[in-house]
Amino acid sequence: MGLNPRRDAGTDSDDRASRRRLLGWLSGVGLFGSGILSAFSNFVFIKPRATYGAPQRFTAGKPSDYPDGTRVALEPRRVCIVRDGNKLAAISTTCTHLGCIVGLSETGFACPCHGSRYDQDGTVTGGPAPKPLAWYKVSLAPNGELEIDKDVEVNPGTYLNV
Amino acid sequence: MSAKKQSVLANVRELPSNLWHSIFRNPLPHNDVERSATSFTNFFLHIHPVKVNKNTLRPIYTMGLGLMSFFLFVILVVSGILLMFYYVPSTEQAYDRMLDLRGSVAFGTFLRNMHRWAAHGMVAVVFFHMCRVFFTGAYKRPREFNWVLGVVLLLITLFLSFTGYLLPWDQLAFWAITVGTAIAGYAPLIGKQIRFLLLGDASVGQEALLRFYVLHVALLPAIATLLIAIHFWRIRKDGGLSRPARAEGKPELSISVQAVELDPKRTYGLQGLVRGPLVKVGNVPENSVYSWPNLLIAELFALVVTLAIILIVSLLFNAPLEEPVNVMHPPNPAKAPWYFLGLQEMVSYSAFWGGVGVPGLFVLLLILTPYLDRSPGGVGLWFSRKRLLANTVFLTFVIVNIAFIVIGTFFRGPNWSFVTPW
Ligand code: HEM
Ligand code: FES
C-alpha cells in the first residue's frame, strides 16, 4: 500500500488524502480524549472515598462526662473538649503552622514544634501560626452522646448548649 | 566462512573464542577505525559519540557533576532494590524492619547507609550540576529544553528523597513529613487537596506510608529513568556538550532534521529527507579526540570516585534512626528534611510567601531561564564576563538559598528560636 508512487498520483488521490486526514483526525481526537478521561479517572481513583485512618466524625461520651470548666485533650482524636457552664465546644489541637500537636498550657495552647501560642479560644497570641485553631461542629447524637465532626469547621465561639 | 566442513570437535574447540567474538564484535581497538567501531557497535558504549570535543573532557569544565548525579542514581536503584527485600510499608512493621536491618540482616546497616548517604548526596550533586550548567551558560540555544528537563529532574530528585524520608517510620521521618506536607498545604486553593491526595488521609498514617512507598519505589524512579534517558539523548542531539564558540555569534551546529518533499512523484531514501548539518565529523576535527578510550576513562574515573566516597562515608557514619513514631510527642523543634529547611525557614516569616509564593516563582523563573536570556554570548566558559548580570543574579539566588538552609539546619533550636550551634 502506498509503496508505488504512481498509485498516489492517480485521480483518487484527493479521496485518499481526505480519508487519511479523517483517520488522522479521528485517532487524534480519540487519543486525546482517552488521555483526558484517564487523567480524570486516575485522579478520582487516587482520591480515597473512605479513609482507613481515624474517622473524622466520632462520638466522645456524654456531656455529663465533662463537668463545668473542663478542658481535656483527646489526643488521638486531635481535639480538645471545652466546657464552660452549659456550653460545650471542640477545638482542634492541630497547630495551624505546620501541623504539630499543640499541648494545653496555663494560658490556652502551646505548640512544641516552633513555639506558636494560642489563648483559651485558640486565638494566636504568639509564634509563627498564621490562623487560630479550628473549632469543630459538636452535636448530640440520638443516644445522648456528643458527636464531633472534624470535617465541619464552625466559627470560633460557637458552642453547643447542653 | 568457508565452505569447508569442520568437524564438530573443531567447533567445540573454537567455542570459547567464537562465543566471545559473537558477544563482542570488535577486538580491543588498535587504530582509529576500530576505535570508532567500538563506540558504534556496543550497546552500552553507543550512547557516546565516536569523537568528543576536548573541552568536554576538561575536568574543571563539567566537574563530572552530571555524571556523578547519574552514578548516584544507579547506586540508589541498586541499594534500594536490595533494601526492598526486607522492608514492609506498614506502620506496624516498618520501624522493626529498620531494627532488623541493623541487627540481623547481613550488610543491612551498610546498605541502608549507602542508600541514605547517596540520596542526600544526589540532592546536593544535582543542585551543583545545575549551578555548573548555569555559570557556564550551557542552557543557551540549542540546549534550552534540556535545561527544562533538568529542572524537572531536580524536582523529581527532591521528591524522591522526600518520599523516602518517611519510610523508616521513626520520629524524624514522621514529623519531617508532617511538617513538609503541611508546607504543601499552604498552596492556595489546591494546597489542601494536594496534601490530602498525597497522604490519602487527613494526617500522616498508614495510607501516607503506603502512598509514599509506591511513589518512592515505583513511580518516581520510573519517571526519573525515562527523563534521564531523554536528558542524555538530547545532549547528543544538541551537538554534544557546550563549549566556547569558535567564531562568536555563529550558533553552534546541532542535528536538525527537516522533512522536505523533494518530488512527490519519486520514491526516495531516508537520506533525502535529512537536511542540515548531520554528524559533525570534520567540523572541528583538530579539537576532538576519540571517545574510546578518552571519554570512557574519564567516566570510569568519575564512577570510581563516586563509589569510593559513598563506600567510605557509609563505613564511617550510620544513617540515623530515632525513636519509633509517637504521634503525641512532636520533637522540639520539628524539622523538615534539610533540603526543605530553607523553605521552612521562610515559612516562619510568611506562611504563604515562604512556603509557596517564593519557591513557586523561583521554579518558574528557573524553567524560563533559557527563554528569558537569549543572548548567545559567553557559552562554554565559567563566569564569562559577557554573562555578568545573569551570573550575579543566579549566584545571589544560590547563596540566599544555601544561607536559608544553613540557618534552618544549624541556627534554629527549640520553638524555632535562634540558637548558635556552638
Ligand atoms: C537526575 C538528575 C540529573 C542527571 C543524572 C544529569 C546528568 C547529566 C549529564 C551526565 C550531563 C553531561 C555533562 C555533565 O556531566 O555535566 C548533563 C548535562 C546537562 N544537564 Fe544534567 N543531569 C541532571 C539534572 C540536571 C539539572 C537539574 C539541570 C538544570 C536545571 C540539568 C541541565 C543540563 C544541561 C543543560 C546539560 C548540557 C550541559 C552542556 O552542554 O554543557 N541537568 N546532565
Ligand atoms: S507546627 Fe506548631 S508552631 Fe510550627
Label each residue of B14-43 as H, E or C: HHHHHHHHHHCCCCCCCCHHHHHHHHHHCC
Which residues fall within 8 angstroms of residue B57, CB to CB, at 6 or more apart? B289, B294, B295, B298
ω into residue B333 within 30 of 0, thus cis?
yes
Half-sphere exposure of B364 (CA within 13 A, CB side): 6
Q: Can you give the C-alpha Rg of chain B in angstroms? A: 26
C-alpha B177, offset from chain centre = 22
Where do the domains of chain B lie?
A: 51-245+294-416
User: Range with the lowest mean pLDDT among A140-154, B212-226, B284-298?
Assistant: B284-298
Contact (CB<8Å) B183/A98: yes
CA distance A72 to chain B (A): 14
> Is-contact B194 B187, C-beta < 8 A?
yes
Shortest CA distance from A9: residue in chain B? B265
Residues of B in contact with A51 (CB under 8 A): 200-202, 207
Q: How far apart are CA A102 and CA A148, in angstroms?
A: 19
Give me the residue from B202, B327, B415 closest to A114, CB to CB: B415
Provide mean pLDDT across the span B327-356: 82
0.90 surpassed by complex ipTM: no
Looking at residue B247, its pLDDT comes to 47
Residues of A in contact with B200 (CB under 8 A): 48, 51
CA distance A67 to chain B (A): 25
Looking at residue B305, its pLDDT comes to 96
CA distance A134 to chain B (A): 14
Which residues fall within 8 angstroms of residue B115, CB to CB, at 6 or more apart? B76, B79, B80, B83, B319
Q: What does each C-alpha distance from A85 to A68, A70, A89, B33, B386 come to in angstroms?
A: 5, 10, 11, 95, 74
For the CA of A128, the closest atom of ligand 2 is 3
Looking at residue B284, its pLDDT comes to 43
Looking at residue B216, its pLDDT comes to 97
What 3-state DSSP class applies to B139? coil
Q: What does each C-alpha distance from B160 to B202, B211, B221, B399, B405 come to in angstroms?
A: 22, 12, 8, 24, 19
> Is-contact B149 B230, C-beta < 8 A?
yes
Q: Which chain A residues in 109-148 lie under 8 Å from chain B, judged by CB atoms?
A: 112-115, 127-128, 130
Protein residue closest via CA to atom 25 of ligand 1: B150
CATH of domain B51-245+294-416: 1.20.810.10
Nearest ligand to residue A96 Cα: 2
Q: Ligand 1 pocket test: which of B52, B65, B133 has the largest number of ligand atoms within 8 Å of its C-beta?
A: B133
Residues of A in contact with B328 (CB under 8 A): 75-76, 101
AA identity, residue A126: G
Task: Tell me the pLDDT of chain A (162 aa) as tens digits.
Answer: 445 555 544 456 788 889 999 999 999 999 999 999 999 999 999 988 887 777 888 888 888 888 888 888 888 888 999 998 888 999 999 999 888 889 888 889 988 777 889 999 999 998 888 889 999 999 998 888 899 998 889 998 888 887
> Is-contact B44 B51, C-beta < 8 A?
no
Q: State the pTM of this model.
A: 0.86
> Is-contact B185 B191, C-beta < 8 A?
yes
Residues of B in contact with A54 (CB under 8 A): 205
Q: How far apart are CA B119 and CA B113, in angstroms?
A: 10
Contact (CB<8Å) A114/B202: no
CA distance B214 to chain A (A): 12
> Is-contact B152 B230, C-beta < 8 A?
no
Q: How far apart are CA B258 and CA B36, in angstroms?
A: 27
Residues of B in contact with A1 (CB under 8 A): none
pLDDT in tens, B69-80: 999 999 999 999
Protein residue closest via CA to atom 5 of ligand 1: B70
B21 vs B5 pLDDT, higher one: B21
C-alpha B326, offset from chain centre = 34
Percent of the residues in chain B that have a pLDDT greater than 90, as a whole number:
51
Nearest ligand to residue B412 Cα: 2
What 3-state DSSP class applies to B285? helix
* Alpha helices by DSSP H, chain A: 5-8, 13-46
Gap from CA of B414 to ligand 1 centroid (Å): 39
Looking at residue B265, its pLDDT comes to 55
Q: How far apart are CA B107 and CA B85, in angstroms?
A: 13
Which H helix or E strand runs over A108?
strand A108-110
Half-sphere exposure of B51 (CA within 13 A, CB side): 15
pLDDT in tens, B21-40: 888 877 788 888 888 888 88
Give me the residue from A51, A98, A115 closest to B202, CB to CB: A51
Protein residue closest via CA to atom 26 of ligand 1: B150
C-alpha A93, offset from chain centre = 16
Nearest to B403 by CA among B391, B413, B395: B395
Provide mean pLDDT across the span B44-70: 88
Looking at residue B395, its pLDDT comes to 95
With 80 as the cut, is the pLDDT of residue B407 above it? yes
Q: How far apart are CA A117 and CA A107, in angstroms?
A: 9
Fill in the DSSP letter of residue B418.
B
Architecture of the domain delimited by A57-161: 3-layer Sandwich (2.102)
Task: Please give the mean pLDDT across all residues of chain B.
Answer: 86
